[in-house]
């Protein structure tokens, strides 16, 4: 799994590790229904030899869950890398002072109403 981690984009990394959680949860739920315990050995045995696409579609063979997760992760990453625009970065921000609880503004140096 360390090999996967080095080669995957961050969005595919999210999809992969969420798929691993799904596989673990499904295995644990199945074992519990049979009054057993799902072990790490069973988990690794289930994953042994599977490629990325096989892992992310193991609990959802349609691949729909993986596609939605990838799209969400990619969009989230894109938003995280965009610069944040501060609403008061223009020159007028230094000219106006906010006062009172209502958020009214007045020019600095002007008398209070």
Residue 97, pLDDT above cutoff 60: no
Q: Which of 70, 67, 86, 89 has the alpha carbon at shortest distance from 78?
A: 70
Cα separation of 60 and 97, whole Å? Answer: 55
Give the count of beta carbons closer than 10 Å to the beta carbon of residue 106: 14
30 vs 78, higher pLDDT: 30
Model pLDDT for residues 6-62, shown as the tens digit of each residue: 677 888 888 999 999 999 999 999 999 999 999 999 999 999 999 999 999 999 999
pLDDT value at residue 78: 67
Residue 87, pLDDT above cutoff 60: no
For residue 89, what are its two tokens?
């970065």
Long-range (24+ apart) CB contacts under 8 A made by 94-97 are none
């Amino acid at each position: 799994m360390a090999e996967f981690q080095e080669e995957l984009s961050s969005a595919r990394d999210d999809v992969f590790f969420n798929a691993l959680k799904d596989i673990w949860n499904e295995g644990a739920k199945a074992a519990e229904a049979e009054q057993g315990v799902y072990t790490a050995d069973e988990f690794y045995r289930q994953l042994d030899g599977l490629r990325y696409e096989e892992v992310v579609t193991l609990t959802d063979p349609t691949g729909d869950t993986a596609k939605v997760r990838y799209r969400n992760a990619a969009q989230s990453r894109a938003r995280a890398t965009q610069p944040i625009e501060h609403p008061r970065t223009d020159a007028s921000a230094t000219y106006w002072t906010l006062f009172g609880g209502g958020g009214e503004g007045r020019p600095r140096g002007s008398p209070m109403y």
